[in-house]
A and B are shown apart, each in its own frame.
Chain A
Amino acid sequence: MTSLAHTQDREPGSDSDALAGLLAAAARGDESAWRAIVERYGRRVFGLAKSRCRNVDVAEEITQSVFATVATKLAQGGYTEQGRFESWLFRVAMNRVRDEARRTKRHAAPADPAEVLDRLQGAALETGPATDRLDALRSAMGKLTASDREVIELRHHGGLSFKQIAELLEEPFGTLLARHHRALRKLKEMMGDAGEEPGEGTNE
């Protein structure tokens, strides 16, 4: 597990020194550095938002809101790079996603059935030719508790290491691992695990 943590401490596909340089440049108002930061993390933030709200437009709004907050904080000197940018970024993102979830819950009653149909059709188009298996998995995720779902989404959609998630959620590393494992088991139970052979991943 030690080697695992060491491996996952490094930000995927990035170099921490380069990131520190980009953040410093962006804080000085360098828009090209800012674009590079958005290029690096924008899609992951979008994926996290999309997983929860299931709507492309809302997910993009959330993504913009997250990066607007980050840009403002950088410009204000409200963030000091200590190798925890991703944890901070996804904390902001998770807060936005939670806000949106609460807002959606408050306005849960749709007024126009046609609008609902449009949204459902739009969602189907947005996800593309999703397999039944992925649809079932998505549905099962919706039945997880909020805390279990957050761990799954931060891990798989956000692409964070367990150490980063532990920092973000302010929980011990071991507790995070246990929670992720428990959430996977719940998903496995809900999926029934029918027709899926071990090691037969759909993403390979």
Chain B
Amino acid sequence: MNTHNNGFSGPTGEQSSPDGINDATLLALSRELDALAAADRAGARPGLEARVAAATAHSLRAPAPALRLAGTEHASKSVAWFTPLRVAAGLALAVTVGAVYLARQSPSTGGTVAAVDPASAEQEISEWLAISGGVTGDLATQISRLDAETSSLTDNFLGASSTTDSSTEEGSL
């Protein structure tokens, strides 16, 4: 019977055939394994249990609850911190999508402008000039005259608003 200093008996020493082994040779082998195990256990240096207990007792004072609470706090903090971030991320995504949408829309708008026929535009302007001032003659002459009148009006306005230094400008006209 294999025993050691904590009173443990080998498993196969409990009954005549505790492992359900009917083969007597295997039973003997099983008992030899018990003897081998007992030899291994007995090979420890004296005071093994005391050394192990002393070396590991401090582990009993591990701050166990703090670990779980820390996990819980971490979870609640993560919600508090990440909710604004999630909103910001959503906004950033919306802005990005909008920018992409507008960027795609711009070329089509430009294309519409570019597609206007210059001849028809000139015709529209001529019609407008005819309606507004009864202008006759070619368009270039009319435009030059409008330009001159516009400049004159501008100069008059500037001359009225200034006090002394406007004589040279007026003289140039």
Contact = CB atoms under 8 A, between A and B. Distances in A.
Contact of B8 (A43, A64, A130): A43
Interface residues of A, number: 75
A77 B64 contact: yes
A75 B49 contact: no
Contacts of B45: 56, 60
A147 interface: no
Contacts of A60: 44-45, 48, 51-52
Interface in A55-80: 56, 59-60, 63-64, 67-72, 74-78
Secondary structure dominating the interface of A: helix
Contact of B35 (A7, A71, A203): A203
Counting contact residues on chain B (CB < 8 A from A), the size range is 35 or more
A122 B55 CA distance: 24
28 contacts: A4-B20, A8-B14, A8-B18, A29-B61, A31-B57, A35-B50, A38-B56, A39-B49, A42-B52, A43-B5, A46-B40, A46-B48, A50-B41, A51-B40, A69-B59, A70-B56, A71-B57, A76-B62, A137-B32, A141-B36, A156-B12, A157-B37, A184-B21, A184-B26, A184-B29, A184-B30, A193-B29, A204-B1
Interface of A: 1, 4, 7-8, 12-13, 26-27, 29-31, 34-35, 38-40, 42-44, 46-47, 50-51, 56, 59-60, 63-64, 67-72, 74-78, 126-128, 130, 133-134, 137-138, 141, 152-153, 155-157, 159-162, 177, 180-181, 184-185, 187-188, 191, 193, 196-204
